[in-house]
Amino acid sequence: MGRGFRAVFFDLDDTLFDRRRAQRLMARRMMAELPALLGGLDPERVIAAFLESDGISEGDYKLSVPADEFRLHRMQSFLGLLGLGDERAGELAGMYVTLYPNLDAPVTGAREVLGQLAGRCRLGMISNGLPDVQYTKLNALGIRDRFECVVLSTEIGIGKPSPGIFAHAASLLGTEPGECIYIGDSCADDVLGAQAAGMAACWFNPQGNPAPQDAEPYPYFEVGALDELPSVLHCD
């Protein structure tokens, strides 16, 4: 690929932090921490319920439900799916915020690739996540110092796929959007959002999913594994 970039921006969840793996680890951690409540249940049933409740809370988040409310709702749904009362939902919500972002759940190759790119590219991060967990994830993964800037939607009041969050991030590094590339796992939020701002885009697509029919223009390029990036990214 002949084109060079002045800055490379990354998404966090499911691009560098393996969120689904972390959710499974979190379900098992709760079983270990609360044996009287969850210890007698089938682990796969607990994990399935937790993943389903997490999907419910993701919908709440997209509807701008306050964090405390959707986190409580997540645990109420989780306990309800298991046929349990929700008296301890608040306790579980607090446990989640404390333990979940500290889980060591990198996407395969994340740390190694950032280490390779950091020596030759200016790096930044753009995420729709909440500050109290996103910064902790970066520290837990040991990658916080790789990024010159971290832009979170809730801190600036603009979220992906709005072009404004991408333009803001580019400005923090003294670059124009057209001099940058954004790497993320969501075609809608990451690829189309970045391209609408004038950035190039890379779709991180480890599952080999087909692009949505409305995903035009097509991503600047696509990778199925993070370790493909050092050989195809060229920085000015």
Domain count, the chain: 2
Q: Are residues 162 and 222 in the same domain?
A: yes
38-64 pLDDT, tens digit each? 988 999 999 999 999 998 888 777 777
Cα 212 from Cα 223, distance rounded (Å) = 16
Last residue of a domain, one of 51, 79, 102: 102
Rounded to the nearest integer, the mean pLDDT of the chain is 92
pLDDT tens per residue across span 61-99: 777 788 889 899 999 999 999 999 999 999 999 999 999
Please indicate, yes or no, whether residues 14 and 120 belong to a single structural domain of this protein. yes
CATH of the domain at 134: 3.40.50.1000
- Return the pLDDT at 168: 98
Bridge partner residues of 209 (DSSP) = none
Same domain, 160 and 208: yes
- Parallel/antiparallel/unpaired status of strands 149-152 and 221-223: unpaired
If asked whether residues 73 and 122 sit together in one domain, one would say no
Same domain, 10 and 63: no
Looking at 102, 123, 142, which one is the last position of a domain? Answer: 102
Domain hosting 81: range is: 19-102
Give the span between the Cα atoms of 145 and 155, in whole angstroms.
19
Residue 186 pLDDT greater than 70, yes or no: yes
CA distances, 192 to each of 78, 160, 211, 217, 227 (Å) = 33, 9, 11, 8, 23
Q: Give the angle 55-72-139 at the CA atoms, nearest 5°.
A: 75
Single residue among 71, 102, 133 that ends a domain in this structure: 102
Same domain, 24 and 8: no
Q: Are residues 82 and 113 in the same domain?
A: no
Using pLDDT thresholds of 50, 70 and 90, give the confidence band for residue 1: very low
Q: What is the pTM of this model?
A: 0.92
Q: What does the angle CA 175 – CA 176 – CA 180 come to, to the nearest 5 degrees? A: 80
Q: 118 with 201, same domain?
A: yes
The verdict on 135 and 216 lying in the same domain is: yes
Q: Which 8-state DSSP code applies to residue 218? A: P
Are both 9 and 40 inside the same structural domain?
Answer: no
The encoded tokens of residue 171 equal: 């400005």
Do 89 and 141 belong together in one domain? no
Per the model's pLDDT, the better-predicted residue between 61 and 207 turns out to be 207
pLDDT tens column, 89-145: 999 999 999 999 999 999 999 999 999 999 888 999 999 989 999 999 999 999 999
pLDDT of 217: 66
pLDDT tens column, 20-40 = 999 999 999 999 999 999 988
pLDDT of residue 87: 95
**197: helix, strand or coil:** coil
Share of the chain above pLDDT 90, in %: 80
Q: Same structural domain for residues 59 and 115?
A: no
